[in-house]
Amino acid sequence: MIAREAGSGQPAVGTQGIARDLAVALDPALLAHDVGLDLDAWQQDALRSREQQLILLCSRQSGKSTVSSLIALHEALYRAPALVLLLAPALRQAQELYRKLKDGLNALDRPVPIIEESALRMELANGSRIMCLPGKEATIRGFSGVALLIVDEASRVSDELYQAVRPMLAVSGGRILLLSTPWGKRGFFFEEWTSGEGWERVRVTAEQCRRIPRDWLQRERRSLPSRVFDSEYMCVFGETEDSVFGWGEVMTAVDGGVAPLFAPSQIVHPEGTRDDIAPLAVRPAKTGTGGWR
């Protein structure tokens, strides 16, 4: 990131500035210092990670959106020209992340100038673009050349939306970052956390967050149903309330050795890509109480 005076095209920094830029480019965690934040160790590690796929399964208020906004900012500043997409269940939530990123940019001494800006997107003088995506599959356009896709409150994002955005990373080889509290044993966020391939996984409970006071947490534990407390603060994927069988029961009934009764089918995505859906093979019914019939 070499800041330029808006309009002049001239670099606004001397050797010291260039040396600092080089240091922050090499160690993204230094960016936090430049925006005035003292990151937790796990936040620093997340900011430094170069894994293609990263999941932050973290307590409410632990600082996952904050660090994700810095990951996005670093990408836009130091890997320009980069296209960074911000997605959440609702546009308003994606805009929250966007605002954090903008606050970070404004807090820098010599920010790269913004050449175009709206409530949903900005373009920087270095060619990087940051865009908020609407939380509805039908209204999402296909973007190509995505460098980084961030999905905030990912457990609440629908599988259809996730399936619609993932192909945008296919050609560019861009990175994806999912961050969320759990929301039961369902959906892609749970699947990716428990059995997805190629993910770096980070789990941070409220007890591990130095900014959440112990006595406040104890009060929350007493006042909330344990299922809610465990999910919101302790990163526990609970049973979904509306399911007849628990996740464990269903999975023990699935047997890879039994041939499916019907052939695999495919989802055809709007942009033309296809995903196979293999039907689950379920063990033959057991007799007696509690068996499958």
Ligand X SMILES: Nc1ncnc2c1ncn2[C@@H]1O[C@H](COP(=O)(O)OP(=O)(O)O)[C@@H](O)[C@H]1O
93 binds Mg ion (CB under 5 A): no
Residue 62 within binding range of ligand X, rule CB under 6 A: yes
Query: Does position 37 bind ligand X by CB under 6 A?
Result: yes
65 in contact with Mg ion (CB under 5 A): yes
Which are the contacts of 228, defined by CB distance < 8 A and separation ≥ 6?
none
The bridge status of strand 175-180 relative to strand 200-204 is unpaired
Spell out the alpha helix ranges (H) of the chain. 15-26, 29-34, 41-48, 64-78, 91-107, 159-165, 187-195, 214-223, 226-234, 247-253
Site for ligand X (CB under 6 A): how many residues?
14
Q: How far is the CB of 153 from ligand X (least distance, A)?
A: 9
Peptide bond into 28 cis (omega under 30): no
Q: Tokens 């023990």 label which residue?
A: 252
Binding at 63: pick from ligand X, Mg ion, none (beta carbon under 5-8 Å per type): ligand X
Beta bridge partners of 130: 84, 122
Residue among 65 and 231 whose Cβ is closer to Mg ion: 65
How far apart CA 252 and CA 57 sit, in angstroms, is 25
How big is the CA angle at 21 (ends 73 and 5), to the nearest 5 degrees?
Answer: 80
How far apart CA 192 and CA 157 sit, in angstroms, is 13
Residue nearest to ligand X (CB): 63
Candidates 58-66, 160-168, 222-230, 250-258; binding stretch for ligand X (CB under 6 A): 58-66
**Does position 43 bind ligand X by CB under 6 A?**
yes
Report if residue 40 touches ligand X, rule: CB under 6 A: yes
Indicate which of ligand X, Mg ion, none lies near residue 212 (CB less than 5 to 8 Å, by partner kind): none
Binding mask 129-158 for Mg ion (x = CB under 5 A): ------------------------------
44 counts as binding ligand X under rule CB under 6 A:
no
Q: Which of residues 207-226 bind ligand X (CB under 6 A)?
A: 211
Name the residues that contact ligand X, by CB under 6 A. 37-40, 43, 58, 60-66, 211
